[in-house]
Amino acid sequence: MKGLTLKPLFSAMALTLMLSACASDSAQTNAASQAPNVVATNIMEQNVNNPFFKPYDTFMEIPDFDKIRDEHYLPAFKAGIAAREAEINAITANPDAATFANTIEAMEYSGTLLTKVASVFYNLTGANTNPALQEISKQVSPMLSSASDDIYLNDKLFKRVKVVHEQADKYNLDTAQTKLLEDTYKRFTRGGANLSAEDKSTLRALNEQIGKLNLEFGDNLLAETNAFELVIDKEADLAGLPQDVIDTAAATATKRGHEGKWVFTTSRPSITPFLTYAENRELRENIYKGYIERANNDNANDNKKNLAKIASLRSEKAKLMGYKTHAHFVLEERTAKTPENVYGLLDKVWPAALAQANAEVADMQELIDSQNGGFKLQAWDWWYYSDQIRVAKYSFNEQQTRPYFSLESTLEGVFYTANRLFGITVKERTDLPKYHPDVRTWEVHDKDGSLLAIFMGDYYVRDSKRGGAWMNAYRSQYKMNGVESKPIIVNVLNYPRPTGDEPSLLTFDEASTLFHEFGHALHGMLSDVKYASQSGTSVPRDYVEFPSQVMENWMTQPEVLAQFAKHYQTGEVIPTELVKKIQAASKFNQGFATVEYMAATKLDLDWHTLTDSKLRDAAKFEAESLMNMGLIEEIAPRYRSTYFSHIFAGGYSAGYYSYLWSDILGADAFEAFKENGIFDPATAQSFRDNILSQGGSADPMQLYRQFRGKDAGIEPLLRSRGLLEDK
């Protein structure tokens, strides 16, 4: 776990929760797709120049970003919803008895147009938003919520699904088909299909309200994040900061209209080095509080009432659906199964992590006292003094690594690792459509030379992009009627832009995040399934981080570092001595990293194990939660409630624990590579065959056992974090 890093909020589009994934226009030949659709046809006829209404005339049918305009989205959404409705009506009107093919698969193959527009729209609202897109989101959200309810509250459709589910044995289904049937049936029951007419009406209203509040939460947070700036006009206040950080702050100041000054923001590439190196303690406190008080300033962007209402409505919805709490409702579909199991896991790790964090506090306080600081360590001091201790203990700080990890060289390392493991190769293309000039695009070829996927990388911080790092798909891999859809995958990160003649230079931690996100990308690109709803990262939330956590491990291997970690000016390979320092320091500060993450996890669970829908005072609730868990005052949760977008604007409600759960799998899985050789072909092929290619086509823990030969143990994770002594 890493400082202020936000790892992917959208490993798979939240849209898949309300829409079955769909196939390409050319392949969709099932009966449902042939249904007459007057409304959709009329909309298309009135918008003949809308690029969503015809195949993209581009390589691999990459979205034609050059032609897509903001005004194209709303008509396309309306037409897509209408088309999907007609397709569903064709299924329910089918006079033939319900079968797996004419009901379950027909649903799976429906919704082509809607998925086509949504995949572009929701990628861009995260990566390159603007006021027009934000306004469209507010209009579209209730439309999509209603469209989803129209499907899962459709009595005629559910009767057909139920018949197929009850007669499953007669169809001789394979594993993927069986899972598709089970998942489809569960989506209906969890979508309210068994509710009374009155309760269905209540559910529709709850879904619409929650969707609206989710959007408002995200918009408020983006506005707050963009609004904060620490403006420095005295050069003396820059003392301690590396020159590249100063240069970036000067460029930010110019961009924001503060020519001749320096500006720092709460984006990770800005705030983390400032907290780590700035000698001015007062300014460190200023920017730290700017970060942790986002959307908590009693202004138009305040999220306290918003999030309390979301938690209340989720609790009400859970009760309506027959569950004790929202967490019980969510976790039923996760590998953890119950909140009690998650709390149990946290209770196993928390004591050791908290003890380590307290030891780290003691070390830093001793350092402060030795320097005659005359003050008690505070949260905004942690990065500054922990870095001094890191330097003292290991003669190492992360700034030493920056020259060896340019973005370009780190990409080479990521591609090198993927090639050694899976035989894939990449070829950059500069002639393909892109949604922003920052975006880079590669063809990805499999080991037999065949075209496997398109990969996009969007790496630099900008105001139109939300913070953090994530992977998403513009198109998922699937096979239908003999036609295979090749995936179009994107990684989005927030690295500092090049300044002057200097490239974008990453810390070791930031470079590790690049490996992490490419792990998600591999999960999408190496997918080999029939159904799009089971493709790539379409797996339980507490499993989706597992392949990406595994990928991080190669970043630390000397054999891999020697291939790409080269000084951006001299080409010198990273010195062995520095690599040893990196390895020695890898377990440093893990008490802090684990505790701040787990505090956010516990806060998430506390919000979502409410057994009633009473509105809470958000500030008071959070304070009580942190007190009850015993969080020390020197550490804040990685995400406080008002900017916890994972759970109040994204898909991780009652699921932020997933990173730790997946980390257990990741640490245990990498043990297999350590045992057999980090590039052992057989182990890599088994990982591809049993994990990466399978997506959500089978039970995830069974897939893990097929790869590892056993269930995962917690010990490798604890050892990797220095919370358990090495064997």
Percent helix, strand and coil across the chain, each to the nearest 5: 60, 5, 35
Q: Of 517, 552, 634, 671, which is the active-site residue?
A: 517
Torsion of CA 196, 197, 202, 207, to 10 degrees: 90
CA 223 to CA 217: how far, in whole Å?
10
Helices (H), 321-401: 326-331, 339-370, 382-394
The β-bridge partners of 451 are 445
Nearest-5° Cα angle at 387, 505 to 413 = 30
CA 345 to CA 335: how far, in whole Å?
13
CA 404 to CA 413: how far, in whole Å?
11
Q: 470-475 and 262-264: which strand pairing?
A: unpaired
Cβ neighbors of 371 (< 8 A, separation 6 or more) are none
Nearest-5° Cα angle at 649, 468 to 267 = 25
Calculate the alpha carbon distances from 620 to 61, 308, 336, 616 in Å: 51, 11, 29, 8
**Residue 262 three-state SS:** strand
- Is 671 a residue of the active site? no
Structure tokens at 212: 């609206």
CB 111, CB 80: distance < 8 Å: yes
Can you say whether residue 699 is alpha, beta or left, with left for phi > 0 and alpha for psi between -120 and 50 degrees?
A: beta
The β-bridge partners of 13 are none
Cβ neighbors of 272 (< 8 A, separation 6 or more) are 3, 4, 383
CA nearest 528: which of 580, 450, 433? 450
Q: Which residues of 88-115 are buried (b: 16+ CB within 10 A; e: fewer)?
A: bbbbbebeeebbbebbbbbbbbbbbbbb
Cβ neighbors of 499 (< 8 A, separation 6 or more) are 244, 247, 248, 251
Question: What is the chain's length?
Answer: 727
Strand order in the sheet with 470-475: 425-429, 440-445, 451-460, 488-495, 470-475
CB 439, CB 544: distance < 8 Å: no
Q: 488-495 and 451-460: which strand pairing?
A: parallel
Crossing angle of helices 658-676/590-608, nearest 10°?
Answer: 140
Give the residue numbers marked as catalytic. Answer: 517
